Amino acid sequence: DPEMSRGLGDVYKRQGKGYGEALILEYALEHSLFVHQCDFLVKITGRLKLLNVNSMIGFHRYILPHCDIQSEMDRRERYSDSRMLITSKGFLQHSFLARKERIDDSKGCNFEHILFTSIDEQKDFVFYPFLIRPLWRGISGTNGREYWEGNYRSLKLAYFKRMLNCMTEYNMCHPHNKPSMGVRLVLGMAGMAVGTVLRFFDWIKNE
């Protein structure tokens, strides 16, 4: 859409690329026939390849089918990674896009901060962080650096433990987000197992 492209150019100058990205998502919700037929949307940053995207989508589809929003969240930094999202149209429209006017890169309030706020302040949607570590390859559109941190078992386990801690902290603040007893039991046991393995790795490393 040429008219939209011209408008986005002005937006980038005024509020930054994060706000322009929010407008693209809003446009897709309003005009895409494909989006209208979907229950969930998967948003991935364009210049990157997510090597394990099928595993991450499969986990959502078969393990967390009632989850409205998945993102990699850092509660201490009040930041949610926007390189990949799995989101319902309801969350995207009524929680995130309802706050899009707050996005302004020139004021240090970017897409990722508003995504965190949208997840943290809402009370109608179910959130889980990604429990499978994303494997990124490609070039950052922000700083030009190459993504690749390796696919090491210790990194995957440490990531999983960090996201379990994030989920626990989130659920303490949002009682409505409580998972089912079965999911809590499985994830609780997984957290204990991962913690034990990581301590074992630390012990081996220090020997």
User: What are 124's two structure tokens?
Assistant: 């109608």
Which pTM was predicted?
A: 0.81
For the chain, how far is it from start to end, CA to CA, in angstroms? 61
Q: What is the mean pLDDT of the chain?
A: 82
Spatial distance between the Cα atoms of 116 and 75, rounded to a whole number of angstroms: 8
Per-residue b or e along 180-205, where b marks 16 or more CB atoms closer than 10 Å to that residue's CB: eeeeeeebeeebeebeebeeeeeeee
Tokens representing 47 are 């210049």
CB atoms within 10 A of CB 139: 12
Q: In this predicted model, what pLDDT tens digit does every residue of 62-119 receive, in sequence order?
A: 888 889 999 999 988 999 999 999 999 999 999 999 999 999 988 889 999 999 999 9
pLDDT of the residue at 85: 95
**What phi and psi, each to the nearest 5 degrees, are found at residue 131?**
-100, -10
- What pLDDT was estimated at residue 203? 54
DSSP assignments along 174-204, one per residue? -GGGPPPHHHHHHHHHHHHHHHHHHHHHHHH
pLDDT at 130: 92
Identity of residue 75 = R
CA distance 93 to 5: 21
Q: How confident is the model over 4-15, as pLDDT tens digits? A: 555 556 666 677
Contact partners, residue 110, CB within 8 Å, separation at least 6 = 16, 18, 103
**Digit-coded pLDDT (tens) for 39-76:** 899 999 877 889 999 999 999 998 888 899 999 999 88
The DSSP 8-state label assigned to residue 110 in this structure reads -
Token reading at 22: 């929010």
